Chain A
Amino acid sequence: MTSFIDSLAASEKTAVVIDIGHAYTKCGFAGNSSPRHIVPTTVSIRGETKRVFEDNLDLASLRERLTEFIRLVYYKYNIANCRERRVVIVESVITPTRIRHLLADILLKQFEASSLAFVSLHLGATYTLGRSTALVLDVGYIEAQIMPVAEGVPLAVQFDSLSCAGQAIHKQIESLLTQHASVTHQGRKKSFAEANIQLSEDTLEDIKVRCCFVSPFTRAQSYSKLSSDTTFKEAASTEYTLGPETIIHIPGVVREFACEVLFEQDIDGKSVATLILDALIQASLDLRRQFADNILVIGGTAMLPGFLHRLNAELKHLVNISTYVNKLAIREFHFHSPPAQLNYAAWLGGSMIGALDTLESQSILREKYLENGIVPDWFTGEQAA
């Protein structure tokens, strides 16, 4: 059986599977159990490294960057010819139409791929579990997206998203550092606000990945109820070296509570945990129990230490308070773990779909695209055929 899979991987005609995220892109071949590379979604233009999906980019520059990026993915990372191969793009249901049209144009017209299939990442993730019903929550860089999948049908109408994810944590780190941290610059100690340092996204990401973690529920509750006399045992502080002359002293509160932004309820009372509960309320009654027993959390930000435990604790707490206690009868939640690291679980689903014989019926074929230029959309129901 494994040799069959291996021979599939060794063929020249395996599909290429790419999951282009805002921060990182996972690329590899269909039928493999892990992507070949996970690379940041950046290109270097005239010597500078720039994000492909920067804000407020006009169509021509976006096209230039995306073309350059796809060229890199094919010839530097995957080392595969684009012509005569199928492509599978794993994407979210709410990817902007112009990006999907650009991708179709670049891949089918310019690089001459033989067919292109857009696979919903939430649906792909359920394949990795071997289940057809699940509530999938993807916590990425820009936003956290949740979508229920029932009996293999993605319920796109009940899709919801919230912008508390990696980028929000970065901003919170920056603001907490301004409030609490101090800096030793050229031997002299100052507060962070005085030192006026600009932290790049890469530095913030490094601080988030190495120094921060998600605080357990009980500690977070006691911190928020802090009064001036109760003592709170802070986590240890660290000294982060920024450059040859600068050291940032990051206090324990910043380390522990930067990720609170995911679980703090904002003005509308929403947080990552309420996303799940609201999705359950919106789902039809007969499916609720099934969804609550099959929750799948994927995405790079969900790999933060302590994330899942905290999410579970938050859910158990929220179902007992006023907003949800009357609407939802469920008191217990069960999570699943995919056979992959969480940041490429969606890619893995795409890899499975890309290895199936039914891929062709799901894709946009090159000849058809050159004739009619239609890129089917999840919500309009345009068909490719």
Chain B
Amino acid sequence: MTTLLNLHRVKYQCSCGSFKSLCYLYFCRHCLKIKCKDCVILEVDCRFCPSCYEHLQSHEAITRKNRCQSCFSCPCCNHTLVTRATNTSAAMPISLNTTSDSGNAGGGDADESISSTNVSGLQTPSKKVYYLACSVCRWSTRDIRLADQPTLNSWKAQDNIHEGRFNELLQHYKQIATREKQERDRKRYSTVKLRSALPTTTTSRSSSDKYGLLAPVTRRGIRTSGILKSPSVTESPNSTNPTIKPSDPITEIEPLDENLFLSNTFDFNKLTTITQRLNSVEIQPLTVDRLYPLAKHFTSKQSKRCKECDHNVLKPEPSPKLIKFKLHQMALFFIPEIRIWHHPAWSATESNPCVLSIVNQLDEQTILKLYTLDEIREENIDKDLIDRINQLDEYILTSQLTLPISKDRSIKLHPHVEPNETDTKLDDEFRQSDSRELVLYRKFAKIAIRCYIKLKSSSVKTILGAFIIEHRVVGISSIVSTPTATSSNPVTRNVRHIILIDFGPTDEPALTLHSSLA
């Protein structure tokens, strides 16, 4: 065994049909079904900065473009930048004598808070100036010759030089689009057929945007539908629409910077890598000396919601510092966990006895029933389940799993206890009532059962077997007809899960048998 738990070997079937390990599944207590990552909808709960945990409301976060104002990342290596302070004496007029002061702006990085006094007794105000430095790759704002700032949090983000032009263009197109939408809405609600003024149609056709797809539709529309009752809709009030200046062609295309690229002193380390460029989207600097500190992006906490019943399945605490959950319906807490404990060296013809362990995660004792696939097929009650089993059997399974004891296998599971639990009364009781054929070992919440694997054919490469477990769950009923003071009626039901076990390749050697199982 290379990994202790071998999570990916035992898979449970989710209600959407896909098989996933138990740790990746959720359990919705309203629809009483297992849900996986694809059956839930994520919603953003809280946005926060990952380094200073500043928590913002969603609309505020959106205005700040999901970036923190006080934390920055190094543009070279993307680690968090540290603000360092140093003292600098203010530039004093010549009449004052020399100051016995601390470091100047060109040097040190340790915190120095000695204020300086000069010979004449006047206190030279020494200001603290701040700069940003990376402790991992040793980049600092002084490398790009950015002046040290006198106050904290005064690092301004770089502006996008094209923003003005973009806004101008956007405004222009918005006006055209609103006009077109108004026309279209009016045309839709018109009842009186009036001959449309020809100039109106032609101007609207040429100056508004017609996308290739809609051209035939709108042409049809103009011919068939009538237009508006009020003539005031003609475009006179909108003639104030300022047309924007379309872009000018490039007057002179700049040639390759030969000094940079062809010269003998070319050092490619002075150019930024593609990741560094893409980190600052708007600027994308070519050379390393134009990199600028990047404001840190926010991360988010999400809550997950079941698609069917629209109730929350997972809801974290809204504060970014707490890692607990308000609602934590993971499948691990409701469904017993099954692991492979032992399998022999595989023989292709005989029935191979294997041992599986079942761990109960609930805080109360439960009764677990085990069924093989054939038994479910014989029962013939749940059509949907039988369909799924048949699908599985045909396409995926490569072996048949049988269990000892011909029918009515039910095992009592001990509630989940602390590791140092000493009260063995319940445990002993259960052990008495166990059938020796099925249950090999029992200790508190963990039991070991025996099963038999018979390969379907000798050309099988990996061994996949499946069986069904049934247990009781206590759900929450979502409909409360009369508001009662007590909690709503809990709905208990027996649910069945299909479990797919991948025992591994046929040539895997036998796992060592634990002494207690021998």
Closest to B64 in A: A10
A-chain residues with CB within 8 Å of residue B177 when the two chains form the complex? 356-358
Within 8 A of B (CB), among A248-298: 255-256, 293-294
Q: Judge whether A383 is part of the interface by a CB distance below 8 angstroms.
A: yes
Residue in B163, B173, B247, B257 whose CB lies within 8 Å of A337? B247
The one of A5, A10, A215 in contact with B59, judged by C-beta atoms closer than 8 angstroms, is A10
The smallest beta-carbon distance between B238 and chain A, in angstroms, is: 15
Residues of A within 8 A of B181 (CB): 357-358, 361
Tell me the count of chain B residues lying within 8 A, CB to CB, of chain A.
76
The complex places the Cα of A216 from the Cα of B185 at a distance, in Å, of 55
| Residue from B63, B166, B254, B274 within 8 A of A6 (CB atoms) | B63
- The CA of A67 and the CA of B18, in the complex, are separated in Å by 15
Report how far A381 CA is from B215 CA in the complex, Å: 11
B281 partner, pick from A1, A36, A235, A293, beta carbons under 8 A: A36
Q: Is the CB of A34 within 8 A of B254?
A: no
Within the complex, which residue of B217, B248, B264, B271 is in contact with A210, where a contact is CB–CB below 8 Å?
B271
Query: Residues 158-193 of chain B: 1 if any A CB is under 8 Å from the residue's CB, otherwise 0?
Result: 001011011101111110011011001000000000
**Is B91 part of the contact surface with A, judged by Cβ < 8 Å?**
no
Q: Is A179 an interface residue when CB atoms closer than 8 A count as contact?
A: no
B273 on the A face (CB < 8 A) = yes
- Asked if A130 and B249 make an inter-chain contact with CB atoms under 8 angstroms apart, the answer reads no
Complex contact A24–B43 (CB within 8 A): no
Among B111-119, B205-213, B454-462, the stretch that binds chain A is B205-213
Contact B265 A336 (CB under 8 A): no
Determine if B485 is an interface residue (Cβ-Cβ < 8 Å): no
Cβ contact within 8 Å between A111 and B281? no
Q: Which residue of A lies closest to B273 (CB)?
A: A206
B405 contacts partner chain A, Cβ-Cβ < 8 Å: no
User: Taking A336-B247, A341-B282, A376-B213 as contacts, is the C-beta distance between A206 and B274 under 8 angstroms?
Assistant: yes
Beta-carbon contact of A362 and B213 below 8 Å? yes
Given known contacts A131-B246, A352-B173, is B62 in contact with A358 (CB within 8 Å)?
no
Q: Which of B61, B163, B169, B300 has the most CB of A within 10 A?
A: B169
The yes or no answer to B53 lying at the interface (CB within 8 A) is no
| B253 close to A309 (CB less than 8 A) | yes
Interface centre among B211, B213, B217 (most CB of A within 10 A): B213
Question: B514 on the interface (CB 8 Å rule)?
Answer: no
A373 within 8 A of B: no
Interchain nearest-CB distance for A111 vs B (Å): 7
| Interface locus among A51-59, A146-154, A183-191, A223-231 | A146-154
What is the minimal beta-carbon distance from A135 to any residue of chain B, in angstroms? 12
Interface pair A12/B170, CB less than 8 Å apart: no
Bound CA–CA A153/B213 (angstroms): 9
- A205 located at the interface, meaning its Cβ lies under 8 Å from any Cβ of chain B in the complex: yes
Interface flag for B20 (CB, 8 Å): no
- State A53–B363 Cα separation when bound (angstroms): 46
- Say yes or no: B62 contacts A10, CB within 8 Å: yes
B385 CB to closest chain A CB (Å) equals 24
Residue A37 interfacial (CB < 8 Å): yes
Interface size class of A (residues with CB under 8 A): 35 or more
Instruction: Known contacts A79-B300, A151-B206; decide if A235 and B266 are in contact (CB<8 Å).
Output: yes
Residue of B nearest to A130 (CB): B246
Residue ID in chain B nearest A24 by CB atoms: B278
Indicate if the CB atoms of B253 and A335 lie closer than 8 Å. Answer: yes
Contact with B along A323-354 (1 / 0, CB 8 A): 00000000000111111110110001000100
Q: Which of A79, A112, A306 contacts B298 (CB 8 A)?
A: A79
Q: Does B88 contact A (CB under 8 A)?
A: no
Give the CA-CA distance A381 to B217 in the complex, in Å. 11
Note all chain A residues with C-beta closer than 8 A to B254.
Answer: 309
- Could you say which of A33, A80, A303, A357 contacts B178, with CB atoms under 8 Å apart? A357
Instruction: Flag whether A38 is at the interface (Cβ < 8 A).
Output: yes
A209 CB–B CB distance under 8 Å: yes
Interface residues of A (CB under 8 A from B): 1-2, 5-6, 9-12, 24, 31, 33-39, 67, 71, 74-76, 79-83, 110-112, 120, 123, 127-132, 151-154, 156, 205-206, 209-211, 213-216, 233, 235-236, 238, 240, 255-256, 293-294, 303, 305-306, 308-310, 312, 334-341, 343-344, 348, 352, 355-358, 361-362, 376, 378, 381, 383, 385
Which 3 pairs from chain A and chain B are nearest by CB? A306-B256, A339-B162, A334-B249
Knowing that A83-B43, A309-B253 are A-B contacts, what are 4 other residue pairs whose CB atoms are under 8 Å apart, sorted by A's residue number? A33-B166, A75-B302, A79-B300, A305-B260
